[in-house]
Structure 1
Amino acid sequence: MTPTPSRRTLLQGLAAGTAVVAFDPFTRAWATTREPAFAQVPPLDGTLLTDPASLAAAADDYGHIVHRTPAAVLRPGSVDDVVKMIRFCNTHTVDVAPRGQGHGTFGQAQVPGGVIIETTPLNHIGTPGHGTVTVGAGAKWSDVVRATLEHGLTPPVFTDYLELSVGGTLSVGGIGGQTHRHGAQVDNVLALDVVTGAGELVHCSPARHAGLFHAVLAGLGQCAVIVSATLRLVPAPTAPTVRHYLLPYTDLDTYLTDQRTLTEERRFDYVEGQVTADTNGAFTAYVLEAVSYDAEIPESVLLAGLSYDPAGVQRTTPTYFDFLNRVGPVAEELKKSGIWAYAHPWLNLLIPGERTAEVTREILAGVTAADVGPGLILLYPLDRARLRTPLLRMPDDPVPYLFAILAATPPDDTATVDRLLAANRAAYDKVAAAGGTNYPVGSIPFRPQDWRAHYGERWAQLTAAKKTYDPKGVLVPGQGVFG
């Protein structure tokens, strides 16, 4: 009989990048030789990686705050690879999580000692037809919109940064400036193909396996891994350019009132806004951002009755795609400058509209320009009636607001990172006390009891789905939802 390798030998083999072929369920170690007593890794179309570079990359994310090293990284060659690996991990109770573009900020998709499944290879984009398109979970939204625009169609809702994966944003919600008109990205999904925590490939929709469908959208990967999605499409703008406005304000209440007016009257296709520092460094200046895709509506109608400062208005006319992709070139510059590698202790909250002025004013009073660094602060309205996905938790208010402090600070300044994380927690507590919720893409220290409170009356639904579809609890432990 072949001698059983020591744990040191196994780890040396992994470090050298040798192909993984077996798993020791007793020592929880991965083997690079076929050992009779070990569980054999199923044959794969792709690659199970264990080299130091792959493991280090999967142990980090855009936040650069949490670092948890997996045992292996699957780069699937097919959906069947995802099924096989999740089934294998379920059998041997090995934690597993999907990773798209790695844009988490607080270790959400990290798995210490487990398996990361890269969804990037699952990037197929089907031919749009009948107002829909089916795309792989690893497809980036930038590529999806490029493909659909060739057919005169577009997804209706985008996050501000298009270089994110479809599966990644659908697992959290996908909120943007078009949400006040079309809901979140999850509200525009017609069907999903997912692999459950038990390793079953399931096609689900509102009419078929509806419980699973609703447990996956904005479900933080707790019940299944998305491998493809069928998205609703709408006609793309026909004008060669869109009209983009930046409207300055100096009074918070006026700014919020005008945003609410635009949301209720649907004057613009896109409405967002930022809080900026004034000349004294206090965050008491505001910029309302609005975009119209319709070239026929007079500007006088679009801007009627708004109380912005006319002297500071900025107008541009980008193409539709250039507007959607406006953050892309900025991100490339940040990568070149090194700022992309900063820590990002982000705060993302949803506040009842009636409490937004009070709560944001209180939080911003304690925020300095140094806290935000080269980041930014967002504040803009949504329409509660358009947000129908059960697990995308919203305040009980007709016009909730997204409030996000997208801070950036050098990652080696751990004292500042820790202070900002504590500030994020304090801000969340204020917002929760006011009836607000957490939009779970940021960096807020959360406990299982916080998640129970977050999901409220939907907690029982999520818990039941978890027990049904991920009975051994192997999926996405980094979110900390179930401890």
Structure 2
Amino acid sequence: MNLNTPRRSILQGLVASAIVIGFDVVGRSWVTSANAASIFENIPQLDGTLYTDSETLVNASVDFGNIVHRQPIAVLHPGSIEDIVQIIQFARTHQIKVAARGQGHSTYGQSQVEAGIVINMSTLNKIHFVGTDRAIVDAGVLWSQLLQQTLQQGLTPPVLTDYIELSVGGTLSVGGIGGATHRYGVQVDNVLELKVVTGSGQLETCSQLQNRHLFKSVLAGLGQCGIIVQATVKLIKTATNARVFELYYDDLAVFTRDQRLLINDERFNYVEGQLIAKDTGGWRYLLEAASFYSPPNIPNNNFLLAGLNYTQGTEKIEDKTYFEFLNRLASTVAFLKSIGVWSFPHPWLDLFVPNSAVESFVKKVAASLTVADTGQGAVLLYPVKTQRFQLPLFRVPKEKVTFLFSILRTAVPPDSSTVTKMLNDNRRLFEQNRDLGGYLYPISSVPFSRNDWQQHFGLFWRKLVSAKRRYDPDNLLTPSPGIIEASAPKQETIT
């Protein structure tokens, strides 16, 4: 099917090979050329395609988490930003819910919408400009695609997630954290300008200097106030190589102390860490760090390792190209897909744990956590500086340092009882961390009530609800997280 046919009314119903030409307001169903006797309203002309065939709808009801399944009534593959404007205006007229979907990497149905319209942003994927300090990209561009192009000019985005096959719009809607966050913040802290289609169907340009209120309402705003359609992101000069250090620890307190040391003196470009299961039971701790360089200049290992108290003789040091290091998960993902595990349910848990409580909290969790509880998924633990975070909707503890603690679960076996147990464990650990002053990273699989969201956003709750009313007055956008109901207070400014 040609997705680039210009300016045509194009809802293709593949079941009956009929063109859908309108929407039945009374029956709330699509009208095709085969049943056009009913009274209906024409859909807008589009540059892309609006699908209603069963296969496309089912695919849009499944995400990486494969736990929550909500089926839309249509899926838009936009051919232009104007398509998104048009479809949101149409949806607003007929009170149809709308959600944007990037790579479908959410774990708890965050980008799904029951009986609504899903906008598949993957067709909006053009890199418009790469300059010396910035790039202008459509929201559907993958970070890997942007990186491959910027590297040709010796440039890179400052922060990349561990898995770089995610869309720009997707990660900017939640935050976007990675091993360089201790230096540069999260990805939303490295955005210069956005183009956003609001829930009222208006295309707006916003930045710290222009339309600042919308800018701060959308970045890490979980899709509540608008759909990011284009972003201008920062670029910095990069090296060609990475020297990667893997250092093992047997003591949690020593491990976290060394991690704090490394993010404070910033001797490494990249700092993360993991809990690694021991064959005899229990866990060891892996500090992962990388120093970026371009020959003939090479890192000084003695300087980089000075003062660290890892278990001597366990270290592993390896040189890779910069891209090989950042794309290191590609082979693992390909293997998981080849054996079918990639499609298993993934009840992920991602928590920001206060620095003051991290040893006691993680020690208690690790004491009872088993490989079966994770499905052999990774368990991450690494610190970041909260002073690097500039956006109010990216919520972290009120301490100078917080640790990202992630249990990236895979349900093995992939049955409902396993998933239910993992979700219950996630909720229990979330509540324990919350009571310590910690926060959820909202990419997680944790059932959340409206009261949970209100507590999560704290002082910014009323401001977010007010922004929702201002930019999405009919409460159409991204309903699945269940954040905001239709009623809202008077407008307040997010600062």
Fold match (TM-score > 0.5): yes
Given that 2:454 and 2:461 are in contact with CA atoms closer than 8 Å, whether structure 1 keeps it comes out as yes
TM-score by length of 1: 0.95
1:311 and 2:300 matched? no
Given that 1:18 and 1:50 are in contact with CA atoms closer than 8 Å, whether structure 2 keeps it comes out as no
CA distance in 2 between counterparts of 1:365 and 1:91 reads 54
User: In the alignment, which residue of structure 2 is the partner of 1:18?
Assistant: 18
Given that 2:132 and 2:155 are in contact with CA atoms closer than 8 Å, whether structure 1 keeps it comes out as no
3-state SS, counterpart of residue 128 of structure 2: coil
User: In the alignment, which residue of structure 1 is the partner of 2:488?
Assistant: none
Alpha carbons of structure 1 residues 84 and 478: separation in structure 2 relative to 1, 3 Å:
same
CA distance in 2 between counterparts of 1:465 and 1:201 reads 16
CA distance in 2 between counterparts of 1:77 and 1:38 reads 24
Whichever structure has more strand as a proportion of its residues is 2
User: In the alignment, which residue of structure 2 is the partner of 1:210?
Assistant: 212
3-state SS, counterpart of residue 363 of structure 1: helix
CA distance in 2 between counterparts of 1:195 and 1:379 reads 36
Q: Which deviates the most, 78-87 or 290-299? A: 290-299
- Once the two structures are TM-superposed, the CA of residue 440 in structure 1 deviates from its matched residue by 0.6
Q: How many residues align?
A: 469
Q: State the Cα deviation string for residues 259-281 of structure 1 (Å, max 9, x = none).
A: 00000000100000000112332
User: In the alignment, which residue of structure 1 is the partner of 2:287?
Assistant: 288
User: In the alignment, which residue of structure 2 is the partner of 1:355?
Assistant: 357
Alpha carbons of structure 1 residues 468 and 17: separation in structure 2 relative to 1, 3 Å:
farther
- Once the two structures are TM-superposed, the CA of residue 29 in structure 1 deviates from its matched residue by 1.3
Q: Which deviates the most, 240-249 or 427-436? A: 240-249
CA distance in 1 between counterparts of 2:29 and 2:269 reads 53
Given that 1:65 and 1:411 are in contact with CA atoms closer than 8 Å, whether structure 2 keeps it comes out as no
The equivalent position to 1:96 in structure 2, one of 95, 98, 113, is 98
CA distance in 1 between counterparts of 2:445 and 2:95 reads 27
3-state SS, counterpart of residue 109 of structure 1: coil
Given that 1:19 and 1:49 are in contact with CA atoms closer than 8 Å, whether structure 2 keeps it comes out as no
The equivalent position to 1:116 in structure 2, one of 106, 115, 118, is 118
User: In the alignment, which residue of structure 1 is the partner of 2:274?
Assistant: 274
Q: What do you get for the CA RMSD once the two structures are aligned?
A: 1.4
Counterparts of 1:45-84 in structure 2 under 5 Å? 45-84=47-86
User: In the alignment, which residue of structure 2 is the partner of 1:183?
Assistant: 185
CA distance in 2 between counterparts of 1:422 and 1:20 reads 43
Given that 1:189 and 1:232 are in contact with CA atoms closer than 8 Å, whether structure 2 keeps it comes out as yes
User: In the alignment, which residue of structure 1 is the partner of 2:390?
Assistant: 388
3-state SS, counterpart of residue 208 of structure 1: coil
Q: Which deviates the most, 19-28 or 39-48? A: 19-28
1:39 and 2:38 matched? no
1:341 and 2:343 matched? yes
CA distance in 1 between counterparts of 2:350 and 2:376 reads 17
For 2:342, give the aligned amino acid.
W
CA distance in 2 between counterparts of 1:322 and 1:138 reads 23
- Once the two structures are TM-superposed, the CA of residue 241 in structure 1 deviates from its matched residue by 2.0
Q: State the Cα deviation string for residues 185-238 of structure 1 (Å, max 9, x = none).
A: 00000000010001000011011111100000000000000101000000011x
CA distance in 2 between counterparts of 1:267 and 1:447 reads 42
Given that 2:274 and 2:378 are in contact with CA atoms closer than 8 Å, whether structure 1 keeps it comes out as yes
Counterparts of 1:124-135 in structure 2 under 5 Å? 124-135=126-137
CA distance in 1 between counterparts of 2:116 and 2:390 reads 34
TM-score by length of 2: 0.93
- Once the two structures are TM-superposed, the CA of residue 35 in structure 1 deviates from its matched residue by 5.3
Q: State the Cα deviation string for residues 341-379 of structure 1 (Å, max 9, x = none).
A: 111000000011111111112222232111111311000
3-state SS, counterpart of residue 404 of structure 1: strand
User: In the alignment, which residue of structure 2 is the partner of 1:170?
Assistant: 172
1:299 and 2:322 matched? no
- Once the two structures are TM-superposed, the CA of residue 314 in structure 1 deviates from its matched residue by 1.0
CA distance in 2 between counterparts of 1:417 and 1:72 reads 28
The equivalent position to 1:141 in structure 2, one of 140, 143, 149, is 143
Q: State the Cα deviation string for residues 410-451 of structure 1 (Å, max 9, x = none).
A: 474110100110110000000000000010111001001100
Given that 2:51 and 2:75 are in contact with CA atoms closer than 8 Å, whether structure 1 keeps it comes out as yes
User: In the alignment, which residue of structure 2 is the partner of 1:464?
Assistant: 466
CA distance in 1 between counterparts of 2:285 and 2:211 reads 45
CA distance in 2 between counterparts of 1:87 and 1:367 reads 49
- Once the two structures are TM-superposed, the CA of residue 90 in structure 1 deviates from its matched residue by 1.1
User: In the alignment, which residue of structure 2 is the partner of 1:409?
Assistant: 411
Given that 2:221 and 2:393 are in contact with CA atoms closer than 8 Å, whether structure 1 keeps it comes out as yes
- Once the two structures are TM-superposed, the CA of residue 14 in structure 1 deviates from its matched residue by 7.0
- Once the two structures are TM-superposed, the CA of residue 293 in structure 1 deviates from its matched residue by 0.7
Gaps of 5+ in 2: 1-11, 486-495
List structure 1 runs of 4+ shifted beyond 6 angstroms: none
- Once the two structures are TM-superposed, the CA of residue 17 in structure 1 deviates from its matched residue by 5.5
CA distance in 1 between counterparts of 2:405 and 2:70 reads 29
- Once the two structures are TM-superposed, the CA of residue 36 in structure 1 deviates from its matched residue by 6.5
1:245 and 2:245 matched? yes
For 1:260, give the aligned amino acid.
R
- Once the two structures are TM-superposed, the CA of residue 51 in structure 1 deviates from its matched residue by 1.0
Q: State the Cα deviation string for residues 238-264 of structure 1 (Å, max 9, x = none).
A: xx4210011000100000000000000
3-state SS, counterpart of residue 122 of structure 2: coil
CA distance in 2 between counterparts of 1:129 and 1:451 reads 39
Counterparts of 1:368-383 in structure 2 under 5 Å? 368-383=370-385
For 1:287, give the aligned amino acid.
L
Gaps of 5+ in 1: 1-11
CA distance in 1 between counterparts of 2:17 and 2:278 reads 53
Given that 1:393 and 1:455 are in contact with CA atoms closer than 8 Å, whether structure 2 keeps it comes out as yes
Alpha carbons of structure 1 residues 245 and 406: separation in structure 2 relative to 1, 3 Å:
same
Q: State the Cα deviation string for residues 92-141 of structure 1 (Å, max 9, x = none).
A: 11000000100010000011100000100111112311401100100000
